[in-house]
Amino acid sequence: GENVEQHPSTLSVQEGDSAVIKCTYSDSASNYFPWYKQELGKRPQLIIDIRSNVGEKKDQRIAVTLNKTAKHFSLHITETQPEDSAVYFCAASISPGGNQFYFGTGTSLTVIP
Amino acid sequence: NAGVTQTPKFQVLKTGQSMTLQCAQDMNHEYMSWYRQDPGMGLRLIHYSVGAGITDQGEVPNGYNVSRSTTEDFPLRLLSAAPSQTSVYFCASSQSGGRTLADTQYFGPGTRLTVL
C-alpha cells in the first residue's frame, strides 16, 4: 500500500516568516494530494488540495507544489500569523478507483508572535 | 446542514466491553470512512464504505466492525474493547470517494475513547 512520510514533525517560525512542510509518497499511482489543518481539539479541515495534472496551486497565503518525478509535495504558508498555529496533515489517494486516503504523521506548526 | 455528526463525544470503557460509535451525515455523500488518530501516527483508516450495503477494510480493521444500511449512517462497533483501542475516532464523508475524482473529505467532530 501507499506510504506517506511527512517532515518536519514540529516547526516553529516567527510571525511573518514562511513555513514549508514536505511530504513524500511511495505509490506512483497516487494522484490526489490534500492538506488538512487541525486545531487543538478540533476536527481536520481541508485547506488546499492538488491533483497530479498540475504542479502548483495557490490560495491566498497558502500554496502546494507537487513533483511527480520525485514523488513529493509541499505546503507553503507565507506571511504566517499566530492563527496558523495548528497541526497540518498531508494525504495521498488514487482517483478514480482508489478508496483509501493515506495520511502523513502530521506537523505541529507554532507561529511565534 | 449539520454535516457529519458523531456521538458520543467522550466514552470510557472497561476492557472487554462492547460499544458502538455513531456517525451520520446529511449531505447525501456516498463515501464514508472511520479513522483513528493516535499521537505521532496521524490518521489511520479503519473501515470505509462506498455506498449503502458496501463496506471494506482499511489499514487497521482488527477489533472493529461496520455496517452501512443507509446512506446517512455508518456506525463503528468495538466488539471487545482493549486498551490499545484508546484513541480519538473520526468519521469522514465525501461525495463519491474514489469512484470518480476524489472529493474533499469532511470530518466529524470526533469521539475520544478511553479503554481501561
CB nearest A89 (choices: B43, B48, B109)? B43
- To the nearest whole angstrom, how far is the Cα of A94 from the nearest Cα of chain B? 7
Say which residue the cell 494525504 belongs to: A91
Say which residue the cell 482493549 belongs to: B82
Q: What is the pLDDT, as a whole number, of residue A107?
A: 97
A81 touches chain B (CB under 8 A): no
**pLDDT digits 0-9 by tens, B68-97:** 999 999 999 999 999 999 999 999 998 875
DSSP B59: S
- Per the CB < 8 Å rule, is A32 touching B33? no
**pLDDT digits 0-9 by tens, A1-12:** 789 999 999 999
How many CB atoms lie under 10 A from the CB of residue A58?
A: 12
Q: What is the mean pLDDT of the segment spanning B3-23?
A: 97
DSSP B107: E
- To the nearest whole angstrom, how far is the Cα of B111 from the nearest Cα of chain A? 10
Residue of A nearest to B56 (CA): A99
Buried-state track B2-39, b at ≥16 Cβ within 10 A, e below 16: eebebeeeebebeeeeeeebebbbeeebbbbbbbbbee
- The full DSSP string for A5-46 is EEE-SEEEEETTS-EEEEEEES-TT--EEEEEEE-TTS--EE
Q: What is the pLDDT, as a whole number, of residue A2?
A: 85
- Per the CB < 8 Å rule, is B50 touching A99? yes
Chain A hits for B45, CB-CB cut-off 8 Å, are: 100-102
Please report which confidence band the pLDDT of residue B15 belongs to, taking 50, 70 and 90 as the band edges: very high
A61 touches chain B (CB under 8 A): no
- Per the CB < 8 Å rule, is B90 touching A44? yes
**For residue A105, what are the contacts with CB-CB under 8 A and spacing of at least 6?**
A5, A6, A9, B40, B41, B42
**pLDDT digits 0-9 by tens, A13-70:** 999 999 999 999 999 989 889 999 999 999 999 999 998 888 999 999 999 999 999 9
Q: What is the mean pLDDT of the segment spanning B12-29?
A: 96
**pLDDT digits 0-9 by tens, A60-80:** 999 999 999 999 999 999 999
